[in-house]
Amino acid sequence: MKIIMLGAPGAGKGTQAKKIAAKYNIPHISTGDIFRANIKNGTELGNKAKTYMDQGLLVPDELVVDLVVDRVKQDDCANGYVLDGFPRTIPQAEALDKALAVIGEKMDYAIDVDVPDENIVHRMSGRRACVGCGATYHLEYAPTKVEGICDTCGKELILRDDDKPETVKKRLGVYHEQTQPLIDYYTNAGILKTVDGTVDINDVFQTIVNILGE
């Protein structure tokens, strides 16, 4: 099962992708997480990506496409995978389709987690990310057991630099301009499924399971 998660920043792509990966036992591939790990480790890719991410802009396609195409060819992706944050532009989607066609494969589902802009800024200001393992929480909607401390690894939680309201607004603009056209792209491909992302996290997941099957 090969799945793409679509949706605005903060729609809940990562939250749902992790649950899908656990239930169906497939890898969760998040380009945002890959870039953040590279930034943390001070790699050349990380340094390049950071200048764009801090401004709420997309990292250029040429820094993203090969990375993902190489990743999905690894052995653990043989039974499928869930892509979170990729593709994000039409050229990225075309490059993915082309690379898959060469090996006789294609994506099965593009799940659009639909949340209106009005909800996004509030949601993002409450998100907290672990400095250690990158797990994400929400002050109101997905709180940790002990305030400010990661449930998984015990490290401290922070507000991501790009989750500050001004940068979130910029990211939303970039989403509408560059990523939203993918809704039509995957509608035309016949694999788009839209789910309401404004309801409770577990209810969003149940809708997704109804689409993917038990």
Buried b (16+ CB within 10 A) or exposed e, 186-207: beeeebbbbbebbeeeeebbeb
Is 58 a binder of ligand AP5 (CB under 6 A)? yes
Catalytic pick among 160, 164, 169, 170: 160
Position among 15, 130, 135, 150 found at the interface with ligand AP5 (CB under 6 A)? 15
Q: How far is the CB of 175 from ligand AP5 (least distance, A)?
A: 7
**Cis upstream peptide for 87 (omega within 30°):** yes
Alpha-carbon span 168 to 162, nearest angstrom: 7
Residue 80 sits in the site that holds ligand AP5 (CB under 6 A)? no
Q: Does 88 bind ligand AP5 (CB under 6 A)?
A: yes
Q: Which is nearer to Mg ion, 17 or 72 (CB)?
A: 17
Residue 134 binds which of ligand AP5, Mg ion, none (CB < 5-8 A, kind-dependent): none
Is 29 in contact with 81 (CB distance < 8 Å)? yes
- Which listed residue (3, 4, 12, 14) binds Mg ion by CB under 5 A? 14
Tokens standing for residue 184: 């039509």
Give Cα 110 distance to the centre of its chain: 12
Hey, what are 124's tokens?
A: 């993002």
- Per CB under 6 A, 14 contacts ligand AP5: yes
Which residues between 131 and 190 bind ligand AP5 (CB under 6 A)? Answer: 136-138, 141-142, 162, 171
- Strand 136-138 to strand 157-158: parallel, antiparallel, or no bridges (unpaired)? unpaired
Stretch that binds ligand AP5, among 21-29, 38-46, 100-108, 196-204 (CB under 6 A): 196-204
Tokens of 132: 């250690």
Span of 29-37, 39-47, 146-154, 184-192 interacting with ligand AP5 by CB under 6 A: 29-37
* Cβ neighbours around 154 below 10 Å, total: 11
Q: Is 13 a catalytic residue?
A: yes
Q: Please give the size of the binding site for ligand AP5, defined by CB under 6 A.
A: 34
What is the DSSP-derived secondary structure letter of residue 8? Answer: S
171 tagged catalytic: yes
> Strand, coil or helix: what is 34?
helix
Stretch touching ligand AP5 by CB under 6 A, among 7-15, 40-48, 104-112, 149-157: 7-15
Give catalytic residues, as residue numbers.
Answer: 13, 88, 127, 160, 171
